[in-house]
A and B are shown apart, each in its own frame.
Chain A
Amino acid sequence: MTKIFLYRLYKESKIFFLFALIFILAYIIVLRKQMDMLIFPINSMFSNNSATDFSTTTYAVKLNSNIIRITDDLYLKKDFSENSLQIFSKWVKADGKDLMTGLLERKISDSLKRVPYLKNLTPPKSTLQTWPVWFVNFHHLQTRVGDNIEIWEYRFDLIKNNFILKDSSLITRQTVIYE
């Protein structure tokens, strides 16, 4: 009994014990609600999988028709580019709506009262134009007036043990109007 951490904590410091208890109880609630939070992470990565086939999708940014390569970058930069590009593309495809937009619409029916929340919790509309330019600059490429930046979605199928490009579609196109 004397070796159990919480027991020792209780004997030594009631404040620490109380904090630990609240933390554990909160964690149990969060786990039950399946809310994956920074201080209460739910490490269930790759425990669920709904895929039924071996097709896959990825996104790429093109500057003047040339793909900006991300796989040559160091790991973290590649990972950030890949993930944020994917989330941005989905946001564009969903017409600027995301989890937060839907949540606020459900919780706050008054559109006027919703405004301050939308302002701070969702990206501004101008993001559609500015983000692709940021992405190009993030990869240390310069943009000039008239440059074309496009975001494409690529779909692959697994054929004969190799991924073959099935089709692609344009997500958004921007022409740079200022340097």
Chain B
Amino acid sequence: MNKIFMPATAPINQYRIIIAILFVEVLVYLFCNIRIAAFQQNTFFGFEQDPLLWLIYFTGLPQFIVGNIFISYFIDVSILLLLTALIFKPLKKWLALVLFIFLFLFYCIFTAHLGHRNYQSGYLLALLPFLFVREKNKQIVFEFTRYFLLFFYVSAAYFKIKSGSIFNPDHLSHAVTNQFTPYFLEHSYSVRTSFNLYLISHHNFAQSLYFGSVIFEFIVIVGFFTKRYDSYLAIAILIFHCTNWFIMDIAPIGQIAFICTLFFSQKFCWKHQS
């Protein structure tokens, strides 16, 4: 069989857009004081069932980094500088590699100090293709991460259907009960807290929203068969996350650049001749 693949020129500007979105996401983290240097003196950490995280902490490296103010600041600043450099030179593999290592360490430290799994790990996955020099390899990895992204959202819908929660009329009303408690404690009322109370007392309406969220997640399955609608899928996922923030107080910061790769999948992913 003949080779059915053809090399393509790198879509440099589209790469830059993804890195720029990543840069903004990292800036949001820093503005929120979520940076390695801010964990100085914070000796509390906890794990869930993630042997990879256990292994990394067993080496003592994260504890060493957090315990050293100079290295902490060095990594925080380096992440910003490397992202800036990568916007200008998106094909420089070593920039992406060092950045990936630093962001990976940041993710591990952040997750451990948070004490539970953080699902907004898209900033690592969005960077994966940049670790490869050859354009074709980049495309292969982009396509692989694209399938990973699709699976991530479709599986969320699958678990909701499998558990039967989608058929439980009280499910979302119970699920949202804990989401805004600190706001009620601090009398920090807003339209979101009012809506939270509304959802708790209107089970059918709440469940119809839950049903809608499952549809938004499940619709992503289309991406397994064609890339033609990837932009619409990206919009659907972003809408899902926006409503998730409004209803559940869970924002997708750290995931947006990864989702936005779907807007460019025709350029990023593997080209082949029919």
Contact = CB atoms under 8 A, between A and B. Distances in A.
Contact of B114 (A38, A83, A98): A83
A12 B5 contact: yes
A74 B48 CA distance: 26
Nearest to A68: B186
In which size bucket is the chain A interface?
A: 35 or more
Given A44-B159, A48-B163, A123-B43, A56 B177 contact: yes
Contact of A12 (B33, B116, B140): B140
A84 interface: yes
Contact of B57 (A47, A121, A124, A138): A121
Interface stretch (B16-24, B72-80, B87-95, B147-155): B147-155
Contact of B200 (A54, A72, A73, A87): A54
27 contacts: A12-B3, A20-B144, A35-B49, A38-B108, A43-B119, A43-B152, A43-B153, A43-B156, A44-B163, A49-B171, A51-B175, A54-B177, A56-B178, A72-B188, A74-B32, A75-B251, A75-B253, A78-B182, A80-B114, A84-B44, A88-B44, A99-B49, A100-B47, A121-B54, A124-B43, A131-B43, A138-B38
A126 interface: yes
Nearest to B272: A8
Nearest to A31: B155
Interface in A1-45: 2-3, 5, 8-9, 11-13, 16, 20, 34-39, 41-45
A72 B189 CA distance: 11
Interface of A: 2-3, 5, 8-9, 11-13, 16, 20, 34-39, 41-49, 51-52, 54-58, 60, 67, 69-80, 82-84, 86-88, 91, 98-100, 117, 120-121, 123-124, 126-127, 130-131, 133-134, 137-138, 154, 156, 158, 161-163, 165
Contacts of B181: 56-58, 154, 156, 163
Contacts of A44: 155-156, 159, 163
B44 A76 contact: no
Contacts of B216: none
A71 B182 contact: yes
Interface in B171-217: 171-175, 177-178, 181-186, 188, 197, 200-201
The secondary-structure label for the interface of chain B is helix
A161 B197 contact: yes
Nearest to B107: A38
Contacts of B5: 8, 12
A114 to B, nearest CB: 13
A165 B144 CA distance: 49
Nearest to B40: A134
Interface in B153-175: 153, 155-156, 159-160, 162-163, 165, 168, 171-175
Given A38-B121, A124-B43, A47 B140 contact: no
Contacts of A3: 272
A86 B143 CA distance: 38
Contacts of B250: 79
Contacts of A131: 42-44
B67 to A, nearest CB: 11
A116 B121 CA distance: 29
B44 A37 contact: no
Interface of B: 1, 3-5, 28-29, 31-34, 38, 40-54, 57-60, 63, 107-108, 110-111, 113-117, 119, 121, 136-137, 140, 143-144, 147, 152-153, 155-156, 159-160, 162-163, 165, 168, 171-175, 177-178, 181-186, 188, 197, 200-201, 245, 248-251, 253, 270, 272, 274
A67 B56 CA distance: 35
B41 A49 contact: no
B177 to A, nearest CB: 5
B159 A43 contact: yes
Contacts of B48: 36, 99
A49 B250 CA distance: 17
A25 to B, nearest CB: 14
B114 A70 contact: no
